[in-house]
Amino acid sequence: MVSKIENEVIERIAEQRILVFGDIMLDHYVWGDATRISPEAPVPVVSVFRDSHTVGGAANVARNLRGLGSHVELSGTVGNDDTAKTLRNILSEDGIEFSELWSKNDVRTILKTRVVVQKQQLCRIDREDSPFAYAISAEKFEATIAEKIRKSDAVIVSDYAKGVVDETIWNLIRGCARKENTFLALDPKPRRHLAFENPDLLTPNRSEALELAGISVGLHDCFPAEAVCKAIWEKYHPVNLVVTLGADGMLLSKEGKVDTSIPTVAQEVFDVSGAGDTVISTLAAALSAGANLETAAHIANAAAGVVVGKIGTAAITMSELRNALEGPEQASLS
């Protein structure tokens, strides 16, 4: 049963105005069957029966928020190509604001093509330019982003290490968010080695958290939760730290100390693509709407449990979230 507290938070999420900034991409799925091996090489021959497209990266964060009823604006670099046209059409259908000002003539819109055979991903083909191609200037930030932050309840920075998010832009976003008292969330990519101090919310996955902490453990070793949380706090000082641990659920931390952990609610996992987008979008929206960290994490955990049960990059909807929270797996927070 949805608790009174959860219900109040969900209703307030729909009132939030949220700006999403980051790496935007289009996900292309090639669906087919493979019943024989090619005579040319030891690889399967895929007979394609359909293609589909959905948005990825920062655009998928925006799509999750829109599914929860929030008013969303999206910012990030795309090209002037057919991929961008397809992406814009999807965003328009979902009611997500995305300005033409973010188009560049000299770059390719990031495109990820996944070949899926009988619910299993066979391979992924990426088309993109160098990170420098997608970078934006401080002048463009001031002209396009600063005013949007002033009008927003929250800003989510979705970094996929494609070049839109750099240290200069992060500092400008953080400075503007602090000035306007706007909630600031970051989904980081540690390999870029950016100094992104003091976010209100930081949501690394297991491997990202270890890299941020500078700690190395084996793939099947126990996750050193206390050491990781302490190290991340000392380096980056996030107000709220949520580490997503896949089948092991979520780890919540404040001020470098382990607060609590939440077990996963996923019953059957088809595809984890985009699950991190669902987590940060739901967490940020709930925290911005006034929820405490544990309540927000329970709601986000339920949302993630829904999307990993779908094939392909997927977004949560309000009805799906309410149904998931009705389930017996969810602890009562009333």
Express each pLDDT in 118-128 by its tens digit.
888 999 999 99
Rounded Cα distance between 7 and 303, Å, is 14
pLDDT at 138: 87
DSSP 267: S
Start-end of H helices in the chain: 4-13, 58-67, 82-93, 131-134, 138-144, 146-150, 167-180, 206-213, 225-236, 275-288, 293-307, 318-326
Instruction: State whether the Cα torsion 196-72-255-203 is positive or negative.
Output: negative
Residues with catalytic roles: 277
**What digits encode the pLDDT tens for the residues 181-210?**
999 999 999 887 788 889 999 999 999 999
**Cβ–Cβ under 8 Å, residues 76 and 24:** yes
Query: Which residues have C-beta within 8 Å of that of residue 303, sequence separation ≥ 6?
Result: 64, 278, 279, 282, 316, 320, 321, 324
pLDDT at 203: 96
Q: What is the pTM of this model?
A: 0.92
Domains of the chain are 4-33+52-326 (3.40.1190.20)
**Cβ–Cβ under 8 Å, residues 96 and 103:** no
pLDDT at 192: 77
pLDDT at 323: 87
Query: Which residues have C-beta within 8 Å of that of residue 22, sequence separation ≥ 6?
Result: 57, 58, 61, 76, 156, 157, 158, 159, 160, 164, 165, 187
Both tokens assigned to 210: 């270890």
Q: Helix 4-13 to helix 318-326 angle, to the nearest 10 degrees? A: 170
What is the distance between the terminal CA atoms of the chain, rounded to a whole angstrom? 10
Using alpha carbons, list the distances in angstroms from residue 153 to 156, 233, 288. Answer: 10, 25, 7
Rounded Cα distance between 103 and 123, Å, is 29
Q: Which residues of the chain have pLDDT under 50?
A: 328-334
**Cβ–Cβ under 8 Å, residues 129 and 83:** no
pLDDT at 141: 85
